[in-house]
Copies of this chain bind each other. A is one copy, B any other.
Amino acid sequence: MTIDNINLHSYPGSEKTYMHGEIHPDVKVGMRRVILTPTVKVAPDGTKTVRENEPVYVYDTSGVYTDPDVTTDINRGLPRIREQWNARRDDLEQLPEITSEYGRQREADRSLDAIRFANRHRPLRAKQGCRITQMDLARRGIITPEMEYVAIRENMNCAALGIKSYITPETVREEVAAGRAVIPANPNHPEAEPMIIGRKFAVKLNTNIGNSALSSGIEEEVSKAVWSCYWGGDTLMDLSTGANIHETREWIIRNCPVPVGTVPVYQALEKVDGSVERLSWEIYRDTLIEQAEQGVDYFTIHAGALRAHADMINERLTGIVSRGGSIMTRWAVIHNEENFLYTHFDEICEILAQYDVAVSLGDGLRPGSIHDANDRSQFLELDVLGELTEKAWVHGVQVLIEGPGHVPMQKIQENMDRQLDKCHEAPFYTLGPLTTDIAPGYDHITSAIGAAQIAWAGTAMICYVTPKEHLALPNLDDVRQGVITYKIAAHAADLAKGYPGAQVRDDAMSLARYDFRWKDQFNLSLDPEKARRYYVESHRDDDHFCTMCGPNFCAMRISQSTAEECAK
C-alpha cells in the first residue's frame, strides 16, 4: 500500500513522545512534540540575545504510523495496545469462533482468500451476566485504562499553562457515567487508541470513507483511513456500500488507530441485493453481531425515523437525505409497520452492551437543504432520539446523537439547545451543518462555518465534509482538505470555549511569525507541507520579510523597530 508518496513515519520538526499512566502504568499515550528554534535578537550594537522556545504538544491521532521506532505492516495490522488491558479483565470471554451466520459464510468462502486479511483473532464478548461497557464501569466507580488514557491525552500543554493537569481521570469517569461523554472502545478493536467525545473535552472530528458500488477498492479505502488519521481525524466511519464490505472493514479496523463506526443497515441492504422490501430484523441483527465481533466501535442506527414521519416528507423541499433514514422509512411504508430498529431497540442494545459498541442515534430526518432546516419532522425525530437515549442508558450502552445537515446560521443554536434538552446531554455529533446550499465543490467550507459555530455551542464531535460532497466520493486529497478544514473548525471552537491548552499552539505560531521563524511556522501549522510549499514557491530568501509585502512594507519588521524604540 502506498500513501501518495507521503512518509507517514514523521511530522516535520516533531518527535513522537509518550506519557505514562499513574493508575495504570501500562497506559502509554502517544503525542507529538513540535520542537521550536530559539528566538534570536541582535541589538544595534551587535549584542545577540537568544531565548529558547518551549516545545508545543499536539494531540496526535496518527497512532504508531508516525513513530519511527515502530515498523508497521498493513498485512499484519497495528499493534494491539489494548489487548493486555482486555486480558486483565474478568468480565470478558473469548469466543471459540465468530457468532454471526454471515461472518461464518464469508470465513468459509475460499474464493475470498485473496482479499482476506490474514491475521485473524477470536472475538471477545461480555461474560454471561457481566456489564462491561465503559459506561457500566464508570457508574461502578471504576477508572479504566481507557479513561486514564483519554485524561492524559486531553491534557495537552499543561507545562505551558503552569499546571499539572486540567482533565483528571475522575472527571472522565464522571462524564462517561453521566452519559455526557462517550469512549468508543469495543474490546475487539484493541488497535484503537482511546479517545473521548463530550462537550467538556476538546472538540473531535469524524471522517467518512468507504466505497460505493461504483468505485474504490480495499487498498484505496485503507489508504484513506490511515491518511485521515495522519491529518487529524479522531474517529472514522466506514460507509462502504459496494462489494466485499465485510473484508474491506476487516482491513480497515486492523489498521486503524482510531475508533471505527459504521451504518450497519448499509451492509444489511447489500445482503438483500438492495431491496428495501426484503430487509428484515433477522438480517440486521446478524449484521450487528458480525460487525461488533470485527471490532466496530460505534454504530449509526436510524431508530428514530418513524413510519409517521414519512407522511411529512411532502412538506419538504428535499425529502429525506439520510440514506439510513430513507431506507427505514421506506421499509416502514412498504410494510405498513413501524421501523424495526425502533421496535427492536432493546434487543439492539442488548447486543451492543455485550461488545461495548456505542450507538450513534442517526438523524434520519436531518434537513437536506436550508429550506428544510429545523422543521417539524427533524425535531419530532429528535424527541424520539431522546427517548431512545434513556433506553440505551438502561442497558449501559453509550450514546451519541447525530445532528444536521443543512442549517442556516441563525437556526444553529436552536439545534444545540433542543438536543441538550431532549437528549439529556448525550454528546451531539453533527454533519457540518452546511450554512448555504449554493456552493457545491466548496461544501467543506460552507459546512465548516456551521461546524465551528455548533461546536462552540457545545457539539462534541463534528463530522467532516469534503470538497466533493454532493458531487462525488472523496479521493486522498479531498480527505486531507476535509480533515484540515474540520481541524480548523474544531480548534476555533476549542479557542472560543476557552479549552485549556488550545491557545498555546496559536501563541507559539504567532510568536514564530513575529520572530520570522519560518520553519517553526510550518511545523506548527495544521498542514506543514502545504504551508511550506506555498512559501517556498514564491520566496527568494529567508530574510525578515516575505513576498507579500516586500522589504519596505513589512509591518512586523517596522513594528519591531518601533517597539524597541518605545521600550527604551
Interface residues of A (CB under 8 A from B): 212-215, 241-242, 266, 269-270, 274, 276, 310-311, 313-314, 317-323, 325-327, 329-330, 333-334, 368-372, 406, 408-410, 435-442, 444-446, 448-449, 452-453, 456, 467-473, 484-485, 487-489, 491-493, 495-498, 503, 505-507, 509-511, 513-514, 521-522, 524-527, 530-531, 533-535, 537-540, 546-556, 558-563, 565-567
Q: A408-B492, A534-B468, A555-B321 are in contact. Are A506 and B438 (CB under 8 A)?
A: yes
Bound Cα distance from A503 to B556, whole angstroms: 42
Contact A507 B553 (CB under 8 A): no
Among A333, A524, A563, the one with the most B-chain Cβ atoms within 10 Å of its Cβ is: A563
Residues of B contacting A554 in the complex (Cβ-Cβ under 8 angstroms): 323
In the complex formed, the residue of B with least CB distance to A548 is B473
In the complex formed, the residue of B with least CB distance to A529 is B441
Q: A212-B549, A452-B435 are in contact. Are A562 and B472 (CB under 8 A)?
A: no
Contact A560 B319 (CB under 8 A): yes
Residues of B contacting A506 in the complex (Cβ-Cβ under 8 angstroms): 369-371, 436-438
Bound Cα distance from A484 to B443, whole angstroms: 11
In the complex formed, the residue of B with least CB distance to A321 is B555
In the complex formed, the residue of B with least CB distance to A534 is B471
**Shortest Cβ gap from A212 to chain B (Å):** 4
Contact B471 A531 (CB under 8 A): yes
Contact B495 A566 (CB under 8 A): no
Bound Cα distance from A492 to B368, whole angstroms: 16
Q: A525-B441, A547-B215 are in contact. Are A556 and B319 (CB under 8 A)?
A: yes
Contact A559 B319 (CB under 8 A): yes
Bound Cα distance from A323 to B270, whole angstroms: 60
Contact B442 A484 (CB under 8 A): yes
Contact B472 A409 (CB under 8 A): no
Q: A442-B527, A534-B467 are in contact. Are A317 and B546 (CB under 8 A)?
A: no
Bound Cα distance from A490 to B344, whole angstroms: 46
Residues of B contacting A553 in the complex (Cβ-Cβ under 8 angstroms): 212, 241, 266, 269, 274, 323, 327
Further 15 A-B residue pairs, CB within 8 A, beyond A213-B550, A215-B538, A473-B547: A212-B547, A212-B548, A213-B551, A241-B550, A321-B556, A326-B555, A326-B556, A330-B562, A333-B566, A371-B506, A409-B456, A410-B498, A437-B510, A438-B526, A440-B534
Residues of B contacting A408 in the complex (Cβ-Cβ under 8 angstroms): 492, 495-496
Contact A440 B521 (CB under 8 A): yes
Contact B552 A213 (CB under 8 A): yes
Q: For the complex formed by this chain, how many copies does it contain in all?
A: 2
Contact A535 B472 (CB under 8 A): yes
Contact B552 A269 (CB under 8 A): yes
In the complex formed, the residue of B with least CB distance to A276 is B558
**Shortest Cβ gap from A290 to chain B (Å):** 19
Bound Cα distance from A565 to B554, whole angstroms: 66
Bound Cα distance from A333 to B318, whole angstroms: 62
Which of B215, B441, B550 has a CB less than 8 Å from the CB of A531? B441
Residues of B contacting A534 in the complex (Cβ-Cβ under 8 angstroms): 440-441, 467-468, 471-472
**Shortest Cβ gap from A241 to chain B (Å):** 5
**Shortest Cβ gap from A305 to chain B (Å):** 11
In the complex formed, the residue of B with least CB distance to A317 is B510
Bound Cα distance from A489 to B409, whole angstroms: 10
**Shortest Cβ gap from A496 to chain B (Å):** 4
Bound Cα distance from A329 to B535, whole angstroms: 28
What are 23 inter-chain pairs, A to B, with CB distance below 8 A? Answer: A213-B550, A269-B553, A274-B553, A310-B565, A317-B514, A318-B556, A319-B514, A319-B555, A326-B555, A326-B556, A330-B558, A330-B562, A368-B555, A370-B507, A371-B503, A371-B507, A436-B488, A438-B509, A438-B524, A449-B449, A449-B488, A449-B489, A467-B534
Contact B555 A472 (CB under 8 A): no
Bound Cα distance from A194 to B368, whole angstroms: 36
Among A320, A326, A334, A539, the one with the most B-chain Cβ atoms within 10 Å of its Cβ is: A326
Residues of B contacting A266 in the complex (Cβ-Cβ under 8 angstroms): 553
